[in-house]
């Protein structure tokens, strides 16, 4: 059967992209029937000033709001449950998330629990969320996680030291207000982490065994934009044109991976992040070239197209030459973004690898990896990343 005839679905929220998109939050919250809004953010985003501005815009529209900021990087299940209880007590009927992946995932979790009851951890896996969430508007302030357009919510289970993936059309936000200006308050490390996360999203979506012509368009454009503009945007943080390129790359990557899903890179990064509470983008970046090296034999033509999207000319090279060029390019992008850490720098040792590998193999992202992996395969990739 031709690949183009296979059944594929594509889900995406309404989104508005461009300068000052965030300022439309009041009008759209009212259009969605909001009466009292729970604004979910985190202390860093509050300090940057974006949260107060959003609350002021909601107030100008005549909408009440309450603020929940007990959100850590890699949001915990107990934080989601506390937020859901706060949502109930405050009698809210809509959600606005302002921040990176952590506040957006936490807001999604609060929405799930507020209409479905039960522990947020009960919804792990695919299509477990039966009742729709309250209206949710996302205003991303980082260029990478793409939680604002995805059907994913990633929540940490601190008891099991695992990240739980909740994948459902129910967690796609109603609206994403994607404003490149919000990226100007990111520091270089956060810019690198989130940008390399977006690059990983694009690469994994493009080689995923659930990819389609619809996701390929977005994935390749994400790879092109992020690989070309990320290093420069780190060097020139106030350049709004560069920030817009990265924000667009992040959006494209999100539309791709939300539908094509991901692969071993994210499964392994989720395992690391759950165990060591390390930054998600950093975990992805450390593993990226090593996972590509493992997956490349399973999908060489696709990786060649990725190399070309990164600006490589692979004509006239043999298989080994093309492989070397692609891996060298990925490592060059990592270095240019200042990402030189290894797993050892995160405190990972050889004795950690069997447990990390077992947890990674249980992650739903592993299902769509282009090359089947067993526990020893995953351990070897981790070893190479030490």
What pLDDT sits at residue 169?
94
177 and 191 together in one domain: no
Last-in-domain residue among 130, 151, 182: 182
The CATH number for 34's domain is 3.40.50.1970
| Residue 1 pLDDT | 36
- For residue 240, the domain's CATH number is 1.20.1090.10
Same domain, 210 and 147: no
| Residues 20 and 73 reside in one and the same domain | yes
Residues 207 and 160 in one domain: no
Q: DSSP per residue over 227-295, as a string?
A: HHHHHHHHH-TT-HHHHHHHHHHHHHHHHHHHHH---HHHHHHHHHHHHH---HHHHHHHHHHHHHHHH
5 confidence band (pLDDT: 50, 70, 90):
confident
Question: Which of 158, 182, 206 lies at the terminal end of a domain, its last residue?
Answer: 182
Which pLDDT value is given to residue 3?
A: 63
Average per-residue pLDDT in the chain? 96
8 Å CB contact between 279 and 359: no
272 pLDDT above the threshold of 50: yes
Per-residue model confidence as pLDDT tens digits over 31-81: 999 999 999 999 999 999 999 999 999 999 999 999 999 999 999 999 999
Distance, CA of 224 to CA of 199 (rounded, Å)? 9
**Mean pLDDT, rounded, for 127-146:** 96
In the DSSP assignment, the letter for residue 76 is B
Cα separation, 164 vs 129, in Å, equals 14
Distance (Å, whole) CA 26 – CA 41:
16
172 and 143 in one domain? yes
Looking at the fold, whether 113 and 160 belong to one and the same domain comes out as yes
Predicted confidence at residue 235, as pLDDT, reads 94
Is the pLDDT assigned to residue 325 strictly greater than 70? Answer: yes
Residue after which a domain boundary falls, among 161, 182, 203: 182
The whole domain housing 250 covers 186-385
Shared domain check, 170 and 214: no
Res 381 pLDDT > 60: yes
Q: Is residue 60 domain-shared with residue 167, that is, in the same domain?
A: yes
Q: Looking at the predicted structure, is the pLDDT value of residue 2 above 50? A: no
Cα(244)–Cα(338) distance, integer angstroms? 21
Q: Is the same domain home to 78 and 200?
A: no
Residue 27 has pLDDT above 50, yes or no: yes
- With cut-offs at 50, 70 and 90, classify the pLDDT of residue 168: very high
Indicate whether 207 and 106 sit together in one domain: no
When divided into structural domains, the chain yields a total of: 2
Write the pLDDT tens digit of every residue in 91-134.
999 999 999 999 999 999 999 999 999 999 999 999 999 999 99
Q: Are residues 109 and 257 in the same domain?
A: no
Task: Tell me what pLDDT residue 6 has.
Answer: 84
Average of per-residue pLDDT across 6-19 = 94
Same domain, 235 and 376: yes
């Amino acid at each position: 059967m031709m690949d183009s005839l296979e059944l594929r679905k594509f889900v995406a929220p309404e989104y508005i992209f461009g300068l000052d998109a965030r300022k439309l939050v009041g009008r759209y919250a009212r259009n969605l029937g909001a009466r009292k809004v729970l604004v979910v953010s985190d202390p860093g985003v509050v300090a940057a000033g974006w949260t107060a501005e959003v609350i002021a815009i909601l107030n100008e529209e005549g909408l009440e709001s309450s603020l929940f900021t007990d959100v850590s990087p890699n949001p915990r299940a107990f934080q989601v449950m506390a937020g859901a209880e706060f949502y109930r007590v405050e009698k809210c009927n809509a959600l606005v998330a302002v921040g990176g992946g952590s506040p957006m995932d936490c807001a999604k979790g609060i929405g799930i629990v507020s209409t479905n009851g039960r522990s947020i951890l009960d919804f792990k896996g695919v299509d477990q969320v039966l009742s729709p969430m309250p209206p949710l508007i996302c205003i991303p302030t980082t260029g990478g996680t793409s939680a604002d357009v995805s059907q994913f919510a990633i929540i940490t289970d601190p008891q099991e030291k695992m990240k739980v993936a909740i994948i459902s059309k129910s967690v796609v936000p109603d609206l994403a207000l994607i404003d490149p200006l919000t990226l100007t308050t990111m520091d270089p490390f956060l810019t690198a982490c989130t940008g390399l996360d977006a690059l990983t999203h694009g690469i994994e979506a493009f080689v995923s065994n659930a990819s389609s012509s619809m996701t390929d368009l977005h994935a390749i454009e994400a790879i092109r934009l992020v690989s070309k503009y990320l290093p420069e945007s780190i060097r020139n943080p106030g350049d709004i044109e560069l920030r817009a390129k990265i924000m667009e790359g992040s959006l494209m990557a999100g539309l791709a991976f939300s539908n094509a899903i991901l692969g071993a890179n994210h499964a392994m990064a989720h395992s690391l992040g759950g165990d060591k509470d390390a930054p998600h983008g950093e975990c992805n970046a450390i593993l990226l070239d090593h996972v590509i090296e493992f997956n490349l034999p399973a999908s060489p033509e696709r990786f060649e197209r990725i190399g070309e999207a990164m600006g490589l000319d692979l004509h006239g090279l043999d298989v080994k030459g093309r492989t070397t060029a692609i891996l060298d390019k990925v490592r060059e992008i990592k270095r240019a973004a200042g990402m030189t850490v290894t797993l050892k720098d995160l405190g990972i040792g050889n004795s950690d690898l069997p447990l990390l590998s077992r947890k990674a193999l249980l992650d739903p992202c592993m299902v769509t990896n282009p090359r089947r992996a067993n526990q020893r395969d995953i351990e070897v990739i981790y070893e190479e990343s030490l």
